[in-house]
């Protein structure tokens, strides 16, 4: 009798387990971006049901070729597995989604302009409380080789002409190209696909997101062509409207990265009504195109897993490297502090500002938000950065966008980017 009872319980557990694996995910498992599209005016409603939830780059109504790789989460490590073009593909996607998606912490400072009934992009977000745990081995992720041909874009366009919420042509992990090429050669390849000033709008549909990429810059001539030849194809596949702004500080004063990002914010908005700002170091290259360059309801730290840090999050409050904020979020915290001259400190100060006003830092899982860092000589650290950090809260309201002083030397729309050449005044600090 005991043996029969045990056998009966095992059969029952197997039935329950298989039912749970094949059951559709609840809509509550997917944190949604709720900011309305600037073009559609929020008309794109949440029409996705629990049966068609997906992750960036994949759609349940797409079977895809047999060689598509799906990712299964096993003991915290992403393991690539070949999937069939039928049920197996969708099941594996559901497994990785259910295992890896964590919503941002509830509460905090919410943008009042966001409409909870509209959907702009589906995003996998991990709150900063996740810390640096859950390392993903670089050898466990399948890498796809980039297809440089971007002329043919397959997509499903809605009746209103908007791009689909999830870009259909994402590959997931892919191999970046860190080899140097002259800027003129990169221009020949990419300029025909771009508008002047390094701007882009998808031709096949109307983008949901207007994104300005702000790049603080000085003395990185070797990195710039590599950065641009990798970033532009990456962004084009995401079907966003974007522009790249290279904000270069004139010689004669110590580098002030934070002030350059403030300048980029101000000057970019003079050119176009962007709704999302991505602040991007020139030496970081994204390694997974599911890392969508858009702005969710909370400020997002994007460069979660960098190869030079062993693909681990160094500390939970980090906000450096690559980060994204809406225009309203950036204005709410008064931008970056202008007081940090030399290397280091300004990103941690921004993290403190976000916490001060009630924001939470959102992050993609570490198997998606992966970057490689181009080699460079280490910059001289600012010896007073810790002192500035400790007293930063006293200056949140007086040090930032409202205290920015600079002189615009030049603004030129070059083929691959808009060059903003400025002199930063010490009065900003």
Give me the pLDDT at residue 173, please: 95
**What is the distance of C-alpha 160 from the center of its chain?**
26
Q: Is residue 306 part of a domain?
A: yes
Say if residues 161 and 205 touch (Cβ distance below 8 Å): yes
Among candidate residues 26, 35, 191, 47, the one with its CA nearest the CA of residue 98? 26
Q: Which domain holds residue 365?
A: 24-428
Q: Is residue 79 part of a domain?
A: yes
Give me the pLDDT at residue 17, please: 58
Please report which helix (H) or strand (E) contains residue 190, including its range: helix 183-190
Please report which helix (H) or strand (E) contains residue 346, including its range: helix 346-356
Residue 343 and residue 385: Cα distance in Å, rounded? 8
**284-286 β-sheet, strand order:** 284-286, 370-373, 305-306
Residue 415 and residue 421: Cα distance in Å, rounded? 16
- The tokens of 116 are what? 């909870």
What is the 8-class DSSP label of residue 236? H
Say if residues 262 and 216 touch (Cβ distance below 8 Å): no
Work out how many domains the chain is built from and give that number.
1
- The tokens of 335 are what? 């931008």
Residue 172 and residue 141: Cα distance in Å, rounded? 10
Q: Is residue 161 part of a domain?
A: yes
For residue 252, what is the domain's CATH number? Answer: 3.90.550.10
- The tokens of 67 are what? 């060689």
Q: Is residue 8 part of a domain?
A: no
pLDDT along the chain (429 residues), means of 10: 81 65 36 39 38 39 36 33 36 36 39 38 42 44 54 52 90 94 97 97 94 95 96 97 98 90 98 98 97 97 96 94 98 94 87 96 97 82 70 81 95 98 77
Q: Is residue 2 part of a domain?
A: no
Residue 276 and residue 295: Cα distance in Å, rounded? 6
Q: Is residue 342 part of a domain?
A: yes
Say if residues 68 and 89 touch (Cβ distance below 8 Å): yes
Between 87-100 and 2-22, two packed helices, what is the crossing angle to 10 degrees? 90
Residue 119 and residue 33: Cα distance in Å, rounded? 6
Q: Is residue 89 part of a domain?
A: yes
User: Does the CA dihedral 154-159-162-168 come out positive or negative?
Assistant: negative
CB 317: neighbour CB atoms within 10 A?
Answer: 16
Residue 284 and residue 271: Cα distance in Å, rounded? 25
37 by Cβ neighbours in 10 Å (0-12 / 13-18 / 19+) ranks as buried
Residues 6 or more apart whose Cβ sits within 8 Å of residue 361: 127, 128, 298, 299, 300, 301, 317, 319, 351, 354
Give me the pLDDT at residue 10, please: 81
350 SS3 class: helix
Q: Is residue 19 part of a domain?
A: no
Give me the pLDDT at residue 179, please: 95
The reported pTM is: 0.68
Q: Which residues of 85-122 are buried (b: 16+ CB within 10 A; e: fewer)?
A: eeeebbebbbbbbbebbbebeeebbebeebeeebbbbb
411 beta partners: 420
Residues 6 or more apart whose Cβ sits within 8 Å of residue 246: 215, 217, 224, 417, 418, 419, 420
Give me the pLDDT at residue 141, please: 60
Distance (Å) of CA 411 to CA 217, 296, 371, 421: 14, 30, 29, 6
Residue 109 and residue 326: Cα distance in Å, rounded? 13
- The tokens of 287 are what? 């390694």
């Amino acid at each position: 009798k005991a043996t029969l009872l045990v056998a009966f319980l095992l059969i029952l557990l197997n039935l329950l387990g298989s039912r749970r694996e094949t059951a559709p995910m609840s809509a509550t498992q997917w944190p949604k971006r709720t900011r309305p599209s600037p073009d559609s005016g929020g008309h794109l409603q949440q029409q996705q049901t629990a049966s068609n939830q997906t992750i960036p780059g994949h759609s349940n109504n797409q079977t895809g070729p047999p060689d598509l790789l799906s990712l299964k989460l096993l003991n915290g490590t992403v393991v690539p597995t070949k999937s069939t073009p039928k049920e197996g593909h969708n099941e594996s996607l559901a497994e990785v989604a259910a295992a890896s998606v964590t919503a941002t912490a509830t509460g905090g400072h919410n943008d009042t302009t966001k409409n909870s009934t509209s959907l702009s992009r589906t995003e996998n977000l991990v709150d900063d409380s996740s810390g640096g745990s859950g390392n993903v081995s670089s050898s466990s992720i399948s890498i796809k080789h980039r297809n440089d041909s971007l002329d043919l874009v397959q997509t499903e366009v809605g009746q209103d002409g908007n791009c689909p919420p999830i870009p259909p042509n994402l590959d997931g992990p892919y191999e970046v190209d860190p080899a140097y090429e002259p800027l003129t050669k990169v221009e020949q390849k990419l300029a025909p696909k771009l508008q002047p000033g390094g701007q882009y709008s998808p031709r096949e549909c109307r983008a949901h997101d207007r994104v300005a990429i702000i790049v603080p810059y000085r003395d990185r001539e070797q990195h710039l062509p590599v950065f641009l030849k990798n970033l532009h194809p990456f962004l084009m596949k995401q079907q966003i409207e974007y522009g790249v702004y290279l904000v270069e500080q004139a010689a004669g004063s110590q580098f002030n990265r934070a002030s350059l990002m403030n300048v980029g914010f101000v000057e970019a908005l003079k050119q176009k009504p962007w709704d999302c700002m991505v602040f991007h170091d020139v030496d970081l290259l994204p390694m997974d195109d599911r890392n969508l360059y858009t702005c969710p309801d909370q400020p997002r730290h994007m460069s979660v897993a960098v190869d030079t840090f062993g693909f681990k999050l160094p500390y939970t409050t980090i906000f450096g490297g690559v980060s994204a904020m809406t225009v309203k979020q950036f204005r709410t915290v008064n931008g970056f502090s202008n007081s940090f001259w030399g290397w280091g400190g300004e990103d941690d100060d921004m993290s403190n500002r976000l916490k001060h006003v009630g924001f939470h830092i959102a992050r993609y899982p570490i198997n998606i938000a992966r970057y490689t860092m181009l080699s460079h000589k280490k910059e001289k650290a600012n010896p007073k950065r810790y002192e500035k950090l400790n007293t930063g809260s006293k200056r949140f309201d007086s040090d930032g966008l409202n205290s920015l002083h600079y002189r615009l030397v030049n603004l030129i729309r070059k083929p691959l980017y808009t060059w903003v050449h400025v002199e930063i005044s010490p009065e900003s600090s």
